[in-house]
Homo-oligomer: A and B are copies of this chain.
Amino acid sequence: MSLACATCPVRDRAACSVLSDEEREDLSQRGRHRTLEPGEVLFHAGEKVTACATLTSGALKVSTTDAEGRERILALVHPAGFVGEFFQPFDDHEVVALAPSEVCLFAGEDIETAMSEHPALGRALLRRTQEDLHASRTLLALTGKPDAQARVAGLILGFAQAASDSPCHPAQEFDLPLSRAECANMLGLTIETVSRKITALEKSGAIRRHGKRGIELVDPARLSLMAEV
């Protein structure tokens, strides 16, 4: 196989998991594997190619840069997630690796033909896209909060959920996947405000910090309370 599906860490969670082994083998012929270093760009903004990818390990961010050069993070992609828009030709979003990452890369047309040959794949991608849409709207609701404290608390809670394996309970200790600048870009705040609010959360006793990115949830209830102000 051109792609190591057999040993793929997300083989039963990614969109392609709905395929049989033969179908998957068929699809893997058309794709290619790629490794990304932190900061490396998978899709550039404005490029017209219709391509897409499944993240097998690491983490990606989807971002856009406005006229004044401010970056805005629109979404994070976790392993088994999917990025790329193959219908409309060009996209002003950029996809960049946050951590050392590995992806399965496909041309848009290949995915389209694969979808017509294997209808289950289309349904799986639809489901993933609906989840992405839901996540995007959740982030929209979060960034709409008038209070910066609530936004930061909500972001940390979201990261805690994502870092946990169990779907409902947040992880009790984890690392922030983003730098302060990236947190700020995600929430529509400045670096300084994010930093201040995090220290305020620590002083209030809701969390504790370990190093620059380590977060420990000492009082999750208080944290979610602060997220709702």
Contacts and interface: CB of A to CB of B under 8 A. Distances in A.
Interface residues of A, number: 41
Q: Quick one: copies of this chain in the complex?
A: 2
A126 interface: yes
Task: From A85, A127, A134, name the one whose CB has the most chain B CB atoms within 10 angstroms.
Answer: A134
Contact of A228 (B66, B133, B229): B66
B126 A66 contact: no
A188 B133 contact: no
A146 interface: yes
A131 to B, nearest CB: 7
Interface in A58-83: 62, 64, 66-68, 70, 72, 74-75
Contacts of A115: 119, 122-123, 126
Interface string A119-162: 10011011101111110110111011110000000000000000
Nearest to A150: B66
Contact of A122 (B122, B131, B229): B122
A75 B139 CA distance: 13
Contacts of A88: 130-131, 134
A119 B124 CA distance: 12
B131 A132 contact: no
B140 A133 contact: no
Given A87-B130, A126-B126, A144-B143, A137 B74 contact: yes
6 contacts: A72-B141, A87-B130, A119-B119, A126-B129, A129-B133, A139-B140
